[in-house]
A and B are shown apart, each in its own frame.
Chain A
Amino acid sequence: MRKTGSALAIALGLAFAGQAQAHAQLEHAFPRVGAVISASPREVRLWFSEIVEPMFCSIMLEDATGRMVPTGHLFVDTKDKRQIAVPLSAALKPGAYRVRWHVVSVDTHRREGDFVFVIKP
Chain B
Amino acid sequence: MRNHILFSVLVVVIAGQASTATAHAIAGNRFFPTTLAIDDPGVADELSFPTVSSFKTGDSPGARQLDVSGEYSKRLTDKLGVSVGETWTRIKTPGADTVRGFQNVETTLKYQFHTSAEHESIMATALSVEWSGTGADQIGAEHHSTISPSFFFGKGAGDLPDAYAWARPFAVTGQVSYAIPSRSHDGPDANSQALSYGLALQYSIPYLQAHVKDYGLPEFVGRLTPVIEAAFETPTTYIRGAKTTGTINPGLIWSGRHFQVAAEAVLPINRDSGHGTGFVMQVHFFLDDLFPTSIGKPIW
Contacts and interface: CB of A to CB of B under 8 A. Distances in A.
Nearest to B24: A23
Contacts of A116: 162
Contacts of B289: 20-23, 107, 109
B183 interface: no
A112 B18 contact: no
Contacts of A29: 214
B214 A114 contact: no
A28 B257 contact: no
B60 interface: no
B29 A114 contact: yes
Interface size on A, as a range, is 20 to 34
A25 B18 contact: no
Contacts, number: 101
A81 interface: no
B211 A113 contact: yes
A14 B288 contact: no
Contacts of B206: 25
B116 interface: no
Interface string A103-121: 0100111111111100000
A34 to B, nearest CB: 3
A112 B212 contact: no
Contact of B14 (A14, A53, A111, A113): A53
Nearest to A36: B213
A113 B18 contact: no
Contacts of A34: 165, 212-214
B49 A11 contact: yes
B293 interface: yes
B9 to A, nearest CB: 14
Given A17-B290, A23-B26, A109 B214 contact: no
Contacts of B283: 11
A113 B29 CA distance: 5
Contacts of A10: 49
Contact of A107 (B26, B31, B285, B293): B293
A79 B52 CA distance: 43
A26 interface: yes
Given A108-B292, A109-B288, A35 B18 contact: no
A91 interface: no
Contacts of A20: 258, 289-292
A15 interface: yes
A29 B26 CA distance: 21
A24 B23 CA distance: 12
B156 to A, nearest CB: 12
Contacts of B292: 20-21, 107-109
A109 B117 CA distance: 15
Contacts of B210: 25-26, 33, 113, 115
Q: Quick one: which of B21, B26, B117, B214 has the most chain A CB within 10 A?
A: B214
Given A109-B21, A109-B288, A33 B29 contact: no
Given A25-B257, A34-B165, A115-B211, 14 more contacts: A11-B49, A14-B285, A17-B258, A26-B210, A32-B216, A34-B214, A56-B14, A108-B14, A109-B23, A113-B28, A113-B210, A113-B211, A114-B29, A115-B212
Interface of B: 11, 14-15, 17-19, 21-24, 26, 28-29, 31, 47, 49-50, 117, 162, 165, 206, 209-214, 216, 257-259, 283, 285-293
Interface of A: 7, 10-11, 14-15, 17, 20-23, 25-26, 28-29, 32-35, 49-50, 53, 55-56, 104, 107-116
